[in-house]
Amino acid sequence: MVGRMAPTPSAGLHIGNIFSCLIAWLAAKSAAGRIILRIEDVDRERCRQEHIDTILFDLERLGLVWDNEEILYQTSRTEAYDRACDALKGAGLLYPCFCSRADLHAASAPHRGERFVYAGTCRHVTGEERETLCRSRRFALRLEVPDENFIIQDAIQGSFTQNLAHECGDFIIRRSDGIYSYQLAVVVDDLAQGVTQVVRGVDLLECAPQQEYLRKLLDPTAKPLSYAHIPLLLDENGRRLAKRDRDIGVSGLLEHFGTVERLLGHLAHLTGLRSTAEPTTVQELLDGFSFEALQGKQSITWKMPGE
Ligand code: GLU
């Protein structure tokens, strides 16, 4: 069992990311597996070294220590992404897409409600027209997807089915500015790092079918990943917690709670992992850990004690 913590350093960790990393860590460690850390900075313009520094510092002070000696940074992986892209191109599965703008955010993990289905416009641009456009325009590369249902068996959300052609459409592998997409980077890195279990927010559940499809294309011998998509922590208005909200960053939380143990106790109680908010450590939370408390939940309201 190899799990991963895969934060994007476009900001520091907030309580939602802490919860993801905590569950990923507990799931791997409670199964006597390894947990690896990967910094998902593929979209380098959105990422900052100062955020990487605080993420590493915060994970360590929470006790979420990783097992890989060398942290994998996606910005150092361009050659591996090039190779994967060439393999897909060689198999005739990619085509240039000249549609503007829509692809610009494709290197970020899309969040729920942001998905749109690509109509396949540029799939039908062929022959001379394609060549002429390629010479004169910048283009993204899209992967042709089949009209097929993909079923994900999720340890928390149950069975999730998506028809790639109808519910997703041909998706971006490389953006027109040359940056590889989140989907490609994640799949290549999960394969390279021998990841077997993915634990992350339920907003990324709809990416799992695309990622499984891509995974099989890049390595037909790879076993499907096991997935656990955890509920999102929302504010009392049902909105996602925003990274810019300082109160839910690690430093702000520790100012409030005083100790890591008190913060973890509150989080464990609020999310149903523990029946009381007694201060605790990640090591103690390993005892009797299972996904059961999270079963079927899409969201949990984040509240500070006494709220
Ligand atoms: N880097 C993504 C995030 O921070 C997680 C991607 C993943 O787990 O596949 O939201």
The rounded Å distance from CA 8 to ligand 1 centre is: 6
Q: What percentage of the chain reaches a pLDDT higher than 90?
A: 85
Mean pLDDT check: name the lowest of 31-40, 56-65, 117-126, 186-195. 117-126
In angstroms, rounded to a whole number, what is the distance separating the alpha carbons of residues 120 and 154? 29
Instruction: Locate the ligand 1 atom nearest the alpha carbon of residue 7 and give its number.
Output: 4
Residue 248 pLDDT:
81
Instruction: Locate the ligand 1 atom nearest the alpha carbon of residue 199 and give its number.
Output: 8
The rounded Å distance from CA 248 to ligand 1 centre is: 18
Per-residue model confidence as pLDDT tens digits over 175-193: 999 999 999 999 999 999 9
Q: What is the pairing mode between strands 140-143 and 171-174?
A: antiparallel
The rounded Å distance from CA 15 to ligand 1 centre is: 14
Place of tokens 């692809």: 103
In angstroms, rounded to a whole number, what is the distance separating the alpha carbons of residues 233 and 297? 11
Q: Which residues line ligand 1 (CB under 6 A)?
A: 6-8, 40, 109, 186, 200, 204
When comparing pLDDT for 77 and 246, which is higher?
A: 77
Mutate to test the pocket of ligand 1, among 46, 75, 111, 204 (most ligand atoms within 8 A of CB): 204
Place of tokens 């899309």: 110
Query: Does the structure show a pLDDT above 70 at 93?
Result: yes
The residue type of 106 is A
The rounded Å distance from CA 7 to ligand 1 centre is: 6
The rounded Å distance from CA 230 to ligand 1 centre is: 12
The rounded Å distance from CA 111 to ligand 1 centre is: 10
Query: Does the structure show a pLDDT above 90 at 38?
Result: yes
In angstroms, rounded to a whole number, what is the distance separating the alpha carbons of residues 232 and 33? 25
What is the three-state SS of the chain? CEEEECCCCCCCCEHHHHHHHHHHHHHHHHCCCEEEEEECCCCHHHCCHHHHHHHHHHHHHHCCCCCCCCCEEHHHCHHHHHHHHHHHHHCCCEEEECCCCCCCCCCCCCCCCCCCCCCCHHHHCCHHHHHHHHHHCCCEEEECCCCCEEEEEECCCEEEEEEHHHHCCCEEEECCCCCECHHHHHHHHHHHCCCCEEEEEHHHHHHHHHHHHHHHHHCCCCCCCEEEEECEEECCCCCECCCCCHHHEHHHHHHHHCCHHHHHHHHHHHCCCCCCCCCCCHHHHHCCCCCHHHCCCCEEECCCCCC
Instruction: Locate the ligand 1 atom nearest the alpha carbon of residue 211 and give its number.
Output: 9
